[in-house]
């Protein structure tokens, strides 16, 4: 009996000790678990703090980048405004606009299209990042493809803008799209609702958040520059009465073509045209009749002279035409044709002075056969015309180095 009690007591004591130990172990396990969770929280907090620091650094870098980008854009736009505020000839403006657009939009492919064929077709006249062979194939009908569609709408359009068009329009654009180029931005240059040109921009390295604002500013400044250049050309290179080039501009172009002919060995011909008995005509019919005649001659030359050639009004009743890469035979054919057209037209211009029909005398010159300078050839031609007019005029002098019949 005593042994049993002792054994039972020991068992109870052992049980109590076991429970005490078990409780201590559980407490330690709980403490260890809590410590692990706290460590995990600290690591998570550390990661979040690291991410916050990284995001902050990234945001600071982006802000700095945007600041630099805005500064760069501002400087480019300032250069655009300063450059385009001056008097620039139309033919020099498109390459300049492309270079500025290249800096502004970080692009590798840029084309300047000019409206031709009474504004129904867009022809490339300047390009960056595009070979000339591909450029020559890009005569785009207004309304066709991405470029033609933007030209028809006369609105700045981005790649995203094209995607919002109706399915029918998108189908037409895809069917008629331009080959060899990848327009991302299309900027029509418009003034007084008249399309003056269009800049196509593709292969852009990085699109800017300020792109839309940049597009609108560029379009506005570019359009004003094109209009100013057009007015400058009209005021300083065109004769207002005939809408032909004036002698100053003609002489500059002719000298440049003479240099090109010397360098490449091309023939270059000129036609000098003078109205016969114009002074007596003015005295008999008045200045209004004279102005009508001069305007008519200018209109006929503008209509029948090739687009690659250059025609001008030299003086009151004298006109000149530079026939590029033209042999004497072709130049004589042109002179005979334009003589007939002008004389027939002037004979019916006004019944009030139909009885006093005007005629023209023309002289053909070919470089280098008839001289090596413009002054040499034109002086000789003027003398030959004067001699022919003294004998009645109305003829074509085919060779200024021969005796006048």
Length of the chain: 405
Residue scoring higher pLDDT (285 or 199)? 199
* pLDDT band at residue 167 using 50, 70 and 90 as cut-offs: very high
**Percent of the chain at pLDDT above 70?**
78
pLDDT at 160: 94
Coil, strand or helix: which one is 370?
A: coil
Burial 289-316 (b: 16+ CB within 10 A, else e): bbebbbebbbebbeeebeeebbbbbbee
Question: Mean pLDDT, to the nearest integer, of 211-222?
Answer: 88
Cis peptide bond N-terminal to 368, omega within 30: yes
* pLDDT band at residue 237 using 50, 70 and 90 as cut-offs: confident
* pLDDT band at residue 214 using 50, 70 and 90 as cut-offs: confident
* Alpha helices, H only, 305-364: 328-346
Quickly tell me which residue has 């060995």 as its tokens.
Answer: 265
List pLDDT tens digits, range 84-142: 555 566 777 899 899 989 988 989 999 999 998 788 999 999 999 998 888 888 899 99
Domains of the chain: 90-237 (3.30.450.40), 245-397 (3.30.70.270)
Burial 368-398 (b: 16+ CB within 10 A, else e): eebbeebeebbebbbebbeebbeeebbbbbb
Mean pLDDT of the chain: 83
pLDDT at 387: 93
The residue among 339, 361, 378 whose CA lies nearest residue 254 is 378
List pLDDT tens digits, range 300-348: 999 999 988 999 999 889 999 999 999 999 999 999 999 999 999 888 7
Highest mean pLDDT: which range of 45-54, 85-94, 193-202:
193-202
List pLDDT tens digits, range 268-300: 999 999 999 898 888 888 888 889 999 999 999
């Amino acid at each position: 009996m005593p042994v049993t009690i002792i054994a039972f007591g020991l068992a109870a004591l052992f049980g109590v000790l076991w429970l005490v130990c078990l409780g201590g172990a559980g407490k330690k396990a709980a403490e260890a678990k809590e410590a692990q969770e706290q460590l995990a929280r600290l690591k998570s907090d550390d990661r979040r703090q690291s991410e916050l620091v990284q995001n902050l650094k990234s945001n600071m870098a982006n802000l700095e980048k945007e600041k630099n980008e805005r500064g760069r854009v501002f400087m480019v736009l300032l250069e655009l405004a300063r450059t385009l505020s001056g008097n620039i000839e139309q033919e020099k403006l498109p390459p300049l606009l492309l270079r500025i657009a290249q800096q502004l939009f970080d692009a590798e492919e840029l084309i300047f299209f000019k409206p031709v064929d009474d504004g129904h077709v867009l022809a490339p006249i300047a390009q960056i990042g595009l070979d000339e062979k591909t450029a020559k194939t890009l005569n785009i009908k207004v309304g066709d493809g991405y470029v033609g569609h933007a030209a028809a709408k006369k609105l700045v359009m981005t790649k995203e803008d094209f995607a919002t068009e109706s399915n029918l329009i998108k189908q037409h654009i895809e069917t008629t799209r331009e080959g060899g180029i990848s327009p991302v931005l299309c900027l029509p240059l418009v003034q007084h609702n008249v399309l003056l040109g269009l800049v196509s921009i593709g292969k852009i390295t990085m699109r800017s958040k300020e792109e839309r604002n940049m597009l609108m500013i560029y379009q506005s400044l570019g359009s004003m520059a094109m209009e100013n250049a057009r007015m400058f050309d009209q005021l300083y290179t065109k004769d207002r009465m005939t809408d032909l080039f004036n002698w100053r501009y003609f002489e500059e172009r002719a000298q440049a073509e003479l240099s090109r002919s010397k360098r490449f060995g091309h023939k270059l011909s000129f036609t000098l045209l003078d109205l016969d008995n114009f002074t007596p005509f003015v005295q008999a019919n008045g200045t209004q009749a004279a102005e009508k005649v001069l305007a008519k001659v200018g209109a006929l030359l503008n209509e029948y002279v090739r687009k690659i050639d250059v025609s001008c009004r030299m003086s009151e009743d004298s006109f000149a035409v530079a026939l590029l890469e033209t042999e004497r035979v072709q130049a004589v054919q042109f002179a005979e044709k334009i003589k007939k057209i002008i004389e027939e037209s002037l004979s019916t211009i006004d019944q009030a002075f139909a009885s006093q029909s005007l005629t023209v005398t023309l002289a053909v010159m070919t470089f280098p056969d008839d001289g090596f300078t413009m002054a040499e050839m034109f002086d000789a031609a003027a003398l030959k015309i004067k001699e022919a007019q003294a004998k009645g005029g109305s003829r074509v002098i085919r060779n200024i180095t021969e005796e006048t019949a």
